[in-house]
Every structure is written in structure tokens, then in C-alpha cells.
Amino acid sequence: MQSLLVDGGRKLNGTVRISGSKNAVLPMLAATVLFKEPCCIRGCPKLTDVDAAIDILKYLGAEIQWYDGDLMVDPRSIRKWDIPDSLTRRMRGSVFFAGALMARFGKCRLVQPGGCPLGKRPINFHVDGLTALGARQDSDDPGVYLGEISGTEIMLPYPSVGATENLILAGVGASGETVIRNAAKEPEIECLCDFLRAGGCCISGDGSEIVRIKGGLPSGADMQMIPDRMEAATFACAAASAGGDVIIEHVNTAHLETVLQVLERAGCRIDRFEHTIRLRSDRLHSPGTIITAPYPGFPTDAQAPMMAALLRAQGTTTIYETVFSDRMHHISAFVEMGAKIELNKNSAYIHGVSELHGGAVTAQDLRGGAAMVIAALAANGTTTIHGLNHIQRGYEDFTLKLCALGAKVQKA
């Protein structure tokens, strides 16, 4: 298991450029299954989760080619639909292939995917949605769903990001119109729909709670990725934690407004431009209570990075995690580094301390691992963070970007 060594106590100064969005590109890669012609995804991030999605596309029969930071996918030779569990288990993003394959072939394998251990992560909304569209479980193999799907109205019990995206992909292959109510509104969903519309699909309402999809497979598309709002939030929290003056380029500032507001309440000076943020930070104080929620609320993926940034903030900060049932694993690592945190079910009470110290900690998930780096930047001495593989799933050139800002981070 590869590790990171972080020498803390150094301020961050300089400019960092954000990569394309992991959580937008994963459903887009699954969506290429639907296209009749080749697609180009410009600004595709080089991540291990993207590698996992590419391995699935290659297994299915697609032709893949990288051109610098752009990814070409030719889906015309895709003939397979039955993805082996070994590929499905590598990440949560594999679940999107079920909706796309159902749309193209009228059959798919829909089994529990991989992904970060954030508590129970069932796929019942995905199964119920595909069933409502007409998919039926194969009597001989319960992991397989098949049938002619036709448009219908689906009410999601919760604005699930993945279920919304999966059912949009299935709806593209259904006859008639599919309406998804109580849909998630995350920017990654609008990016997926822009990609499908670039191929000629007729989709409206994305970004609101009612999404309408008219059946009809897309031709080809050539589209620029949106920037990764979670990577931007991570670097904003890193600058807040270590202190300094950092410019974050290639962001859609509106996509991380709730994160910026919390950092401003904590004492950061933030200058906003449409695609750039300047953040200056010295001493932080508690921003009060933070409650995670579906977009446009405070994003659950920024919960761990923000907690890390506030470990030395004067006063007590309350963070209440409402989206996932078990997303506080990073707390034990922060306590190991000298933080004072009480946890009561999904509420964490962070009592600011004057100093953190280095130690040896282990990442268990993507955002928790990045948060441990953020805490280590503010700690006195050296911190060893095991589990670099978790971080590499969602952050492109993370070490390089941090060192360019003046941090002392190296792989071990």
C-alpha cells in the first residue's frame, strides 16, 4: 500500500488549476455505450476510477484512445453487456453501465457496485427505477435484468445522484417519455445531460427536481468536461488549513458557493471570479454549524476536507452528516494528530486546538484520505498517510499540485 509523507507547518502560496470532474465523467463514460458514433470527452481527468470505467468499456468492446487530456471513445463495436463482478466491484461508478446497457441492449447485470465505505450504500432506487421502466429480473440469474423498457413516471424516495443519472441513461433507450420526480440537482447531472443533448437527445429539467427524457439514442458528441467542484473545495480547505494566499483556477465558482460561504464565516478572505477563486487565510474561528445535504446544500463530499480545515479554528464547530450513514472514519486519524472531536452518531463536535502534531494515519476512503493530507499540512512535524490508492481514485496529480503551492509532500 503506497503512502504519502507530509511535512506540515508550511503556508500555501501560488496557483492551482483544477482538473475535470470525476463525478461528472463517470456517468458520461457509461453514457458512451448509448452513442451510435464516436465521442470525445475533452479535459477528461486521469484517475484510477476513470481507468476502471475504461476497462469496462474495453471489456464491452469499445475502442479507446487518449489524446493528451482528451479521451476518444468509439462505441460502435460494443457487443457485450454482461460486465463481470470483478470489474463492477472496483467503484460505485460502474452502476451507471446498468442503465446504459439496459437502454442499448434491453439487458444488463445490476449488482452491488464498489465504492467508498460510507455506510450502507444500497442500489434499491436503481433497481426500482429500472423495474418501473419494465426491466424484469432473470429467473435463472437474479443479477441480470432484461426486457423492453418504456417511458414512465418515477418518483425517487430520495434525490439520489446515482439513481437520477442511471435512470436518465435508461430513459434515453426507453420508448416514449420518462419523468423522474424528486431528482437530484447536482451540476454533474446537468453535465451528463449536456453530453447526451450534444448527441441529439431530448432532455429537460436537469438541475431541477423534475427531469424529462424523450427516448432516442444519441449520435456522437464532442464536449468539454466541467471542472471538479470537489477538488476545488479540497484545495480551498487545504489553503484555509495551512494558511497562505492561493489562486484556484478553472473552477465554476457557483458550484461550490456553500463551501466558500462556510470558509468566509470561518475567517477566510475570498475573491470570486467566474472561473477563478482567490483565498487568503490566517487564523480561523468556528463558522458555527454545518449540515450536509443534497445540492445546492453543503456537499457531503466536502465534509471531511472542511472538518480537517477547522481542527484549529477557535471555538467549537458542529458538523452533522445527513447523506451517508457512516462517513466519519477520518475523525480517529484527526484525533491521532491531536484534534479534539466528540462524535455522537452522525454529529461531530470539533473543539479547536492551538496545535496539531504529525503521526501515522490510514485513509479508508477518497475524501477522508484527502482530508488527512489537509490536516497534515497544518500539523507540526511529519505525517505518514497510508492508503494513497484511495486518494488517487479522485484527485489528478494531487501531490504535484500541492508541492507547486509550497507544500512538502512526497510518495513513500
Q: Which residues pair with 136 in a beta bridge?
A: 146
Report the residue from 16, 33, 44, 123 that binds ligand EPZ according to the rule CB under 6 A.
123
Report the residue from 253, 281, 300, 399 that binds ligand EPZ according to the rule CB under 6 A.
300
Q: Compute, in degrees rounded to 10, the torsion defined by CA atoms 36, 40, 46, 47.
A: -30
Toward ligand EPZ, which CB reaches closer, 166 or 281?
166
Sheet holding 276-281, edge to edge: 12-17, 244-249, 276-281, 269-272
Report the residue from 324, 334, 395, 398 that binds ligand EPZ according to the rule CB under 6 A.
324
From 160-168, 256-264, 304-312, 403-411, span contacting ligand EPZ (CB under 6 A):
160-168
Handedness of CA 347, 287, 388, 361 (dihedral sign): negative
Cα 351 from chain centroid? Answer: 28
Report the residue from 66, 67, 158, 273 that binds ligand EPZ according to the rule CB under 6 A.
158
Instruction: Give the C-alpha separation, 106 to 49, whole Å.
Output: 26
From 161-169, 237-245, 308-316, 402-410, span contacting ligand EPZ (CB under 6 A):
161-169
CB of 37 to ligand EPZ, least distance (A): 26
Toward ligand EPZ, which CB reaches closer, 210 or 360?
210
Report the residue from 20, 38, 93, 369 that binds ligand EPZ according to the rule CB under 6 A.
93
Toward ligand EPZ, which CB reaches closer, 184 or 221?
184
Q: Does 387 bind ligand EPZ (CB under 6 A)?
A: no
Toward ligand EPZ, which CB reaches closer, 19 or 286?
19
Instruction: Give the C-alpha separation, 199 to 32, whole Å.
Output: 10
Q: Does 303 bind ligand EPZ (CB under 6 A)?
A: no
From 19-27, 37-45, 147-155, 255-263, span contacting ligand EPZ (CB under 6 A):
19-27
Report the residue from 386, 394, 399, 409 that binds ligand EPZ according to the rule CB under 6 A.
394
Do 111 and 90 form a contact (C-beta atoms < 8 A)? no
CB of 166 to ligand EPZ, least distance (A): 8
Q: Does 366 bind ligand EPZ (CB under 6 A)?
A: yes
Q: Does 334 bind ligand EPZ (CB under 6 A)?
A: no
Report the site for ligand EPZ in 21-40 (rule: CB under 6 A): 22-23, 26
116 is catalytic: yes
Identify the CA nearest to 348 among candidates 335, 331, 336, 333. Answer: 331
- Counting every residue written for the chain, the total comes to 412
How open is the CA angle 346-348-351, to the nearest 5 degrees?
175
CB of 91 to ligand EPZ, least distance (A): 7
What is residue 370's three-state secondary structure? helix
Please name the residues in contact with 12: beta carbons below 8 A apart, sequence gap of 6 or more: 238, 239, 242, 243, 244, 245, 246, 377, 402, 405, 406, 407
Which is catalytic among the residues 116, 191, 193, 201?
116
Q: Does 390 bind ligand EPZ (CB under 6 A)?
A: no
44, 60, 71, 79, 81 from 87: Cα distances, Å: 20, 11, 20, 17, 13
Instruction: Give the C-alpha separation, 106 to 391, whole Å.
Output: 36
Do 202 and 132 form a contact (C-beta atoms < 8 A)? no
Toward ligand EPZ, which CB reaches closer, 174 or 370?
370
Residues noted as catalytic: 116
Q: Contact residues for ligand EPZ (CB under 6 A)?
A: 22-23, 26, 92-93, 116, 120-126, 158, 160-163, 184, 300-301, 323-324, 366-367, 394
